[in-house]
Amino acid sequence: MQDENQVNQMELEGVSICEGYHIIKYLGKGVSGVVKLGRKGHEQVAIKFLYIKNEQERPKIIQKLKQEVDILEQLKHTGIVELKYFSDNLTYIKKNGQIVNKIGMILELGEKGSMLSYLLTLKRFDEQTSRFYFRQLMSALVYMKKHNICHLDLKPDNIVFDSDFNLKITDFGFSKQVQGSINDFFGGTKSYIAPELLDRIAYDGSKVDVFAAAQILFTMMTGCFAFRNCQEQPYNLIQQNDYAQFWNFQNNSHQTLFPQGFPEDFKDLINKMFDPDFNRRITPEECLQHPWTMGLEANLYQIQEQFNQVQETINQQLEQQEEEYQRQQQRRRDQERAEQEMRNLLQQSQQSYKSGNSQKKNPIIDKKRQIMKKFKFTFENRVLKRSLPTKMIDEILIYDDPKNLFCSIIEHFDKCGKIINIHETKYKLNVNIMENDEEKQEMQIELKKLEGDKLRVEVLNLGDDFIKFNEEVQNLKQSIQQQRDEVKIQQK
């Protein structure tokens, strides 16, 4: 026993610690935060850390935490993860010994992982296994309904299995407790969103969960979504109450799996759960009493025997996800360091300019003046538009003075004579990205403002040659970085 404890202690050296729990590995992430595995002795827990970008966001994030905690503290059910502890000031000791405070909660661990992992590995569940988990899911929803609580983001990602492979619902970040209709939340995941959310009308939260549960059931049975979004034909057929065409479409898509077509009682249950009118839609209680649900189900021993066989594959997938998460974190840290360096450089440049550091020429200002003079433009009536915080493939995010950066972009394309025109009132220009006598193909570049001093260089391809376009985007990125490096050297 002593040797085992010594080995465990050696394994835990050099790991982060939160509230006495050693952070063992990454488990997953969502819209509101990241989840990690914590261990204290033989106890294992899931620790959910909420994202916080800046201190201005802190009150809003703390309020979000309290809302989720208020709901979890009321839910004591075998099909729902248990809240163990929460705080807006969790003590987190990093690997290097630095102590920071985090906002988050410590939860019961779904030891066998998420339902999504098993669906991705097994492709689908058989009908009896699907029925077993559907019953467990509906039992939890019936319990929640009695407390006037709805989840509003049900999906296999938010369903985990305990050590015996029983189902548990997790991630109540979007959940609400309300008597009557809801009219102040219209979010969720697009593949599971009920029509009333899209129509932005007051709705019954419990019925929204039933609609999402129908998608989960269909996915368990087939390994595929009934529809991926509200633009697809199957979703439109549901909204039109055209279930005959809906099932013709599904039979054609799953002919190998169900050569005789889907079971009639299964189709009837799905129809009633997907009903576009939530007033007619079946309730969780009625789902449990439906003939399909009352059929033969698998037992836990059968499920354990099947699911344990794919544990190694799932663990490998989790390891790959953790490695990618660590790479993303390292890229984020590198970017933050680079951005801080640029902010310091800009501050030094501005201070130098204001203090009249007159005897020494400012290369940034000189370059800007030359470009403005050559192309005969000013910044007097130029507007820097705001950009939504989206992640685009070809975006360039940067901390810089917009006037300096805009001039740097113009200088890059001017060197090879590719500028077509510069917009009069925006930080935007069009360039020709083709060479020599080839047919002209345009690329549009616009500089936009994000939060704080951060800027986005948005690049738009206006032609068909995507290879050449990608080359030009990479050249622009390299040119901007090279010019920034030169400025650093000149400032020293």
CA-based nearest residue to 90, from 13, 175, 21: 21
14 Ramachandran zone, left/alpha/beta (phi>0; psi -120 to 50) = left
Other Cβ atoms closer than 10 A to 151: 27
Query: Rounded CA gap, 368 and 360, in Å?
Result: 16
CA–CA gap between residue 161 and residue 140 (Å, rounded): 14
Residues found in the chain: 492
Q: Would the annotation count 368 as a binding residue?
A: no
Please list, in sequence order, all residues whose beta carbon lies within 8 angstroms of the beta carbon of residue 466, skipping any fewer than 6 positions away.
none
CA distance 145 to 46: 25
Strand 428-432 to strand 442-449: parallel, antiparallel, or no bridges (unpaired)? antiparallel
- Element (DSSP H or E) covering residue 27: strand 21-29
Q: Terminal CA-to-CA distance of the chain, rounded, Å?
A: 60
Q: Which residues contact 176 (CB under 8 A, 6 or more apart)?
A: 71, 149, 150, 152, 182, 185, 205
Q: What are phi and psi of 247, to 5 degrees?
A: -80, -30
Tell me, rounded to whole angstroms, the distance of Cα 474 from its chain centroid. 26
Beta strands 442-449 and 33-40 are unpaired
Bridge partners (DSSP) listed for residue 29: 34
Amino acid found at 118: Y
Binding residues: 48
Binding residues for ATP: 48
